[in-house]
Structure 1
């Protein structure tokens, strides 16, 4: 097991992972998980893109490390509690990863900044992008070590102090530059891979396919009740209630609090309705499962396919931004909800169509709409200006009554 005893060595581990991510063709970000003695428990990199395809929009380094941690515990491994663990990341965590980190109680050491999507996008370490109740926790656990030098990459230390086992407390300027440049060199091309799907007017209705068609069979293997309900486009109604109620019940059995998330396509077809799997990992909430399952369904259908087959998959199973995510329970001001808001942004990874402004809908509110709007308005620029996350309650009163 590798051991690091200063901040520079720890960041170098994350930087090497970021280089590996660049080689893979995904976002150039890497990370590592350290115990309280500096032992590297796990190092890995972003896996959002594989083989030129979107594999999993939630596969950021920090989120993967946290799921790895919980999987190891479930398998009987002896690991220290999260408060004794430091996640080292080559790039400031996004909203999804920040929510996951805060929900789990981990410490963080951050190298490069991200002025678009980073939780410390303004460099203040006040974390005003977080709901007010989470800011003090971030201030106590997110460390931004000093980078000594005269270039644009130099900075003073801010946030929490690095953990005591670190002898050296600074990041070398070339390493900081590497972390920044690797991400900058990859982000534009990786984001472009989210925009390969046809526009809504060129989409085809999967409900017209034979039940023996490979797309339908794969869809129903993932979710047996796929295509069993249909609403008017972008208008979830009470026909979704049985699927949502069933998934909510399963969510409770699997360690959740009774949440579920459905995905409708642009025609209004029910494609997926997923519970969380928080018995596997505390951050495997219903939305995380739903967006991941859909992305990996498409990935598996396209992975070894030719261009014509890939085009067919994209026509029948379009980008989620053209459909509707329906949450049984709306977001609140907690860390897991903030994670889901961030994961939603990572799923969209670009501007929503003006014709589908209500892509994110919920049935039962968890906080007043005004409070939810304020949370979204405070998020980093990518989320509030480009994606413009704006959850809204479904209009169908019968669906609300069925879940109440």
Structure 2
């Protein structure tokens, strides 16, 4: 089974040029309307070059056909991956610093990390005080590492909104790109962008979390090797179902070879030498994947793992129906195990945001530690403090809090077997 990692395209408006900010925001709002009608988060975006020419326009695609398709399919992330797909195909496009992503809503942590990792500029029509990177609306970016805040302040723009209502605001953060001759958003347009998103927020979150509870799940290890579910799973990861943790959330040293094999591939593909395993509710190893950051800085191991799991479930559901949900449960009832823990860099912000987008609501009481790492990149205390600065969706509603695995033998085995560059980081932290 082929899993789509290329971003689904929305309206490609290659002949359109925008000199008016209002007109460009209207196109982002049009994309948000399409998302609304699809039943997913109502957010849209437009990618523009330094002359205001439209390179592409996309909307959120987290939900398709009433089910999670890809928790990472936000408009901004899709536009960035689309850009790198075009580059890898030989397209002649400007460098990221000469491109602006105009979005109907302030980017979330995942999309902000993606933008900062890649170097794009961004213009946001509406604030998002729940999950946006500028959630306090002060352009001080409290969720960013201090070294990244000046970068965001130089590249993230929040234009003036005209009018006499509560939607009006002054311009903050970076100046707008010079190609905009008209630089103010009408309050009605901005209100549309925000209202569209708020109208779908709770409903889509419920859709993302509408799944079978643990007591209705069936262990996929009981399936025959020739079952269509097993065949599809092993088409993505041939070693699926060949390891089982002792219990939920307690991986042991038996997981080390799988993590290390994928970490070596990750290093070859431009990553730090990390990988991510996904263990289901029964402890079965379902996926263990590297990233592909030589293709796109956004394609971290966590991004590709959570996307692959969601898309596998979505595509199989179209063929096999409810039995897919019985054997392949919601990821909130499983465990993501990262070879290398997060730090405060932009790439970790991508992963923390993507994890939040995968969960969308408070973690289940029976599985509060569904995000774990083996080898720390920064001390646990520093990582905990950093996660507490994230926007309210992540720090309060979900409670994003990675922790180190408890099995000492797993930690030692992975640390010893890490690619050299990753091992040096772990050894320096230990000192």
Which TM-score applies when normalising by structure 2? Answer: 0.91
2:271 counterpart of 1:260: no
Which of 354, 357, 374 is matched with 1:346 structurally? 357
The residue number in structure 2 matching 1:368 is 379
Give CA-to-partner distance per residue, 1:190-245, whole Å, 9 cap, x none: 11111221111221100011111121111111111000000122101111111111
Which residue of 2 is the match for residue 117 of structure 1? 131
Residue 26 of structure 1 aligns to a residue in which SS?
coil
Partner of 1:313: 324
Whether contact under 8 Å (1:197, 1:315) holds in the other structure is no
* Aligned-residue offset at 1:273: 0.1
- List 4+ stretches of structure 1 deviating above 4 A: none
Deviations 1:67-119, CA, capped at 9 Å, x for gaps = 01111111111111111111000011000000000011111000111111011
Q: 1:60 aligns with which of 50, 74, 77?
A: 74
Are residues 1:87 and 2:101 paired? yes
Task: Pick from 363, 371, 388 the counterpart of residue 399 of structure 2.
Answer: 388
The answer on whether the counterparts of 1:133 and 1:333 sit within 8 Å (CA) in structure 2 is: no
Alignment equivalent of 2:111, drawn from 84, 88, 97: 97
Q: 1:226 is matched with which residue? A: 240
Over residues 108-160 of structure 1, what are the superposed CA-to-partner deviations in whole Å (9 max), with x where a residue is unaligned? 00011111101111111100122222111111111000111111211111111
CA distance in 2, matches of 1:356, 1:133: 34
Which residue of the partner structure matches residue 148 of structure 1? Answer: 162
Q: Matched residues in 2 for 1:315 and 1:118: separation? A: 34
1:356 to 355, 367, 370: 367
Choose which of 329, 338, 354 in structure 2 pairs with 1:327: 338
Query: Counterparts in 2 of 1:2-401, with a 5 A limit?
Result: 2-232=16-246, 233-305=248-320, 309-310=321-322, 312-401=323-412
Question: For 1:84 and 1:402, how far apart are their aligned partners in 2?
Answer: 44
The superposition leaves residues 133-189 of structure 1 with CA deviations (integer Å, 9 ceiling, x where unpaired) of 211111111100011111121111111110111111110111111101111121222
- 1:304 Cα deviation from its structure 2 partner: 4.4
SS in 2 for 1:354: coil
8 A Cα contact 1:54 1:193, kept in partner: yes
User: 2-side partners of 1:99 and 1:283: how far apart?
Assistant: 8
Gaps of 5+ in 1: none
Structure 1 residue 355: Cα displacement:
2.1
Partners in 2 of 1:323 and 1:191 — Cα distance?
A: 18
Q: For the residues of structure 2 that align with 1:375 and 1:134, how far apart are their CA atoms?
A: 13
3-state DSSP class of the match of 2:160? coil
2:11 aligned partner: none
Q: RMSD value over aligned CA atoms?
A: 1.0
Q: 1:110 is paired with a residue of what secondary structure?
A: strand
Q: Distance in 2 between matches of 1:161 and 1:356?
A: 44
Structure 2 gap ranges (5+): 1-14, 416-431
Cα deviation, residue 354, structure 1 = 2.1
Q: Distance in 1 between matches of 2:335 and 2:359?
A: 11
How many Å separate the matches in 2 of 1:355 and 1:67? 35
| Alpha-carbon distance between aligned partners in 2 of 1:229 and 1:202, rounded to the nearest angstrom | 22
